Chain A
């Protein structure tokens, strides 16, 4: 186990290095730069800016200096926001995105898991059909449609909640529900299919014949095995949701991290593109790592010990 963990950590570092290198060269390869504007910056000023940020150096040199700063934990300045460094952007934006993300993940588990279980248990009954229909909506309706509908009904029409903005729990409800729609539906379907699989197995029959209550059979015996695919999905999902959604944050006017993944590319804000991508990659590999460790606890057949 110990050896496995050390190996995993090394491979995670390798992944991060590859991701940051690829992103660096890809970002630099897009035509235009942070100082490309419709009202052209005069050549003499442009030159000075490019010298200041070493854009005139060979690419490998820029890469080496960026990686050097990265090791020190310095993600550099933003070109689009004079008042912010990339570290500032992440420090300010991430807690906001993570708050909504946490609520959305919580919601998707609280709703998705029981829905999937009921659906499997009452296969082809109305309960099953209802859950499947609802999850179809959750998966197929784009989030901006949901968001706009929520804003219109809960904000503009019934005046129950603020339309958009950030400033306390009331502002979190609609974005969290919108953000939770897809994962809730996905978890429900995932739970249902793996539950159906497990419920037809012999050991469930054994458990039932021993006279255990249905509730116990489902929660103690079936769920423990059925939940594995859900746990697998949770890793990348948490990484994606916690780092913010561009559409949700833009529509609900939330100062999170999600917007930068898109706007930084438009702005050619190289350092922000890199910083946010590396941050997301770090989150993703860590989440996957935790999921793999959880496996060992959930399923005794999975072990990371060396084969003798």
Chain B
């Protein structure tokens, strides 16, 4: 592979006769700077305002540049914004933009941002992720059609370089939200002339490290370095090829054969081998794998039953023997990796653990208190999961743990993905698996799920104190108050246990050792702005 690349480079150099070859900078590596990344799926939407999936995020964040960006250490840094000021009440954010160009050479202005944000919220755009912008004043009202004047939405360009965002409530993590695809800028002129620009590579204009050159649907997307990017000096990769290989065994073989440098889908049966060969890269992932209970019906309407079932799960055994990907036993709902109020503190460390990873004696005690000593008289029940080998082996393991520890009998049922989602939301289940990946780096992305009648609260659980704590946290910009309220909320959630945390997810990747300086976000996407390929 490498030899061939050299031959091609030499041949090309001979053909063009070394014309226009500037002396290479010293730090520029000599190997071909082409990365092949398996993104695994054709994007659903390639317009940043509408994108919803992690594969799209990875591609879009390499194509575009928002006001803020995460660096390779995971620190939030200024990107399109040169600086910003926040009003004392935390509601008005003024961003000062740097000099930057679109890939076609036109300047990126605050008007582009204003236009993007407003159209992302516009009902006719039909963005499924528009709610990520409900933080903006009147964002929700404009999106739902209650108001029709876009000028009432809390975003305004004062001039080419100044963008003012006005929020509904103080939102401390607003800068973190700004890295989200929905807040990326699009080229206003392009979008007005050609609303379908994001459907092919032909007219695509972006403002990030790379720009798109080829898009073969359901096969691959090619990007090349964007020479007009404001920070282009730091971008080392010349080209990224995003393949859409869906089959994990094919991905692994292509990876081992050097046809892929970076894969996302290591097959579970190969986990042990991949770990022992050092091919598997494990990194933090902001997500929780849990079982949820339908609390509107017996037997899971009884909190003691739920606690018994939670305590009877041996989480250590599941992560070591079943999932095998470095996952952590979850002894709370909010995963690690989210900052708390005090500088340097983590929300998870401050909140601590709510129970031990495995408490069989307590489990028996809870069940006896609930009126089912040794599981006597406990009705047979059904555990629901969506059809997948991974969920199946976890469910089988837990079924066994419940049987051994509590003496209860459980039947496993699997349903096709959307049938399962449908039944979940209709509370057509007794106990079911679920997973949640955070949208942004703040506990709120996990905490506000469980408010009464929340869109993603598929348990039927409702607790007014909990709702109050969430409201307190959402209504203030004071980090100490916010974090305290969210810890209080999590206390209630873990005491009432409508959901049973099982493990915290990890990002599992196959990455060639010669690829350096990429950034895998705990939110699931990968940034190649600074990445390069080392000589090998």
| Interface residues in chain A, defined as those with a beta carbon under 8 Å from any beta carbon in chain B | 30-33, 35-45, 48-49, 52, 80-84, 88, 92-93, 148, 151-152, 155-156, 159, 162-166, 250-253, 255, 259, 266, 268
Contacts and interface: CB of A to CB of B under 8 A. Distances in A.
Contacts of A252: 250
B83 interface: no
A200 B422 CA distance: 62
Contacts of A164: 245, 250, 253-254, 259
A177 B144 CA distance: 54
A48 B123 contact: yes
A126 B416 CA distance: 49
A82 B44 contact: yes
A31 B417 contact: no
B131 A83 contact: no
10 contacts: A38-B435, A40-B455, A42-B131, A44-B144, A48-B126, A83-B198, A83-B199, A88-B217, A252-B250, A253-B250
Interface in B141-157: 143-145
Contacts of A30: 418-419
> Most B CB atoms within 10 A — which of A30, A82, A152, A165?
A82
A251 B256 CA distance: 16
Interface stretch (B45-53, B100-108, B459-467): B45-53
A5 B46 CA distance: 48
Contacts, number: 123
Nearest to A159: B257
A255 B259 contact: no
A164 B418 CA distance: 30
A38 B421 contact: yes
B127 interface: yes
A299 to B, nearest CB: 44
B216 interface: yes
Given A88-B217, A163-B257, 11 more contacts: A31-B418, A31-B422, A36-B422, A37-B421, A40-B425, A81-B42, A83-B199, A163-B253, A164-B245, A166-B219, A259-B246
Contacts of A152: 253
Contact of B219 (A39, A40, A255): A255
**A interface, by DSSP: helix, strand, loop or mixed?**
loop
Contacts of A84: 199, 217
Nearest to A165: B259
Nearest to A84: B217
B254 A82 contact: no
A82 to B, nearest CB: 5
A164 B44 CA distance: 23
Contacts of B249: 148, 251
Contacts of A42: 130-131, 455
B435 A80 contact: no
Contacts of B131: 42, 45
A81 B416 contact: no
Contacts of B85: none
A190 B297 CA distance: 59
Nearest to B42: A81
Given A40-B456, A41-B128, A92 B247 contact: no
A162 B246 CA distance: 17
A28 to B, nearest CB: 13
Contacts of A32: 417-419, 421-422
Nearest to B423: A31
Interface string B266-291: 00000000000000000000000000
B422 A81 contact: no
Contacts of B245: 164, 253
B408 interface: no
Q: Which 10 residue pairs across A and B have the least CB separation, nearest first?
A: A32-B418, A83-B199, A255-B219, A31-B422, A44-B144, A40-B455, A32-B422, A82-B45, A41-B128, A36-B418
B217 A251 contact: no
B250 A83 contact: no
> Most B CB atoms within 10 A — which of A43, A80, A83, A252?
A83
Contacts of A253: 219, 243-247, 250, 254
> Most A CB atoms within 10 A — which of B216, B254, B439?
B254
Contacts of A268: 418
A39 B418 contact: no
A162 B257 CA distance: 9
Interface in B398-451: 416-419, 421-423, 425, 434-435, 439
Contacts of A82: 43-47, 50, 198-199
Contacts of B353: none
A145 B416 CA distance: 24
A45 B254 CA distance: 40
A252 B417 CA distance: 25
Nearest to A83: B199
A271 to B, nearest CB: 15
B416 A266 contact: yes
A83 B418 contact: no
B419 A31 contact: yes
B222 to A, nearest CB: 13
Contacts of B130: 42, 45
A88 B218 CA distance: 12
Interface in B302-353: none
A305 to B, nearest CB: 48
A158 to B, nearest CB: 11
Given A31-B423, A32-B419, A266-B418, A155 B247 contact: no
Nearest to B415: A31
B496 to A, nearest CB: 22
Contacts of B243: 165, 253
A156 B256 contact: yes
B419 A163 contact: no
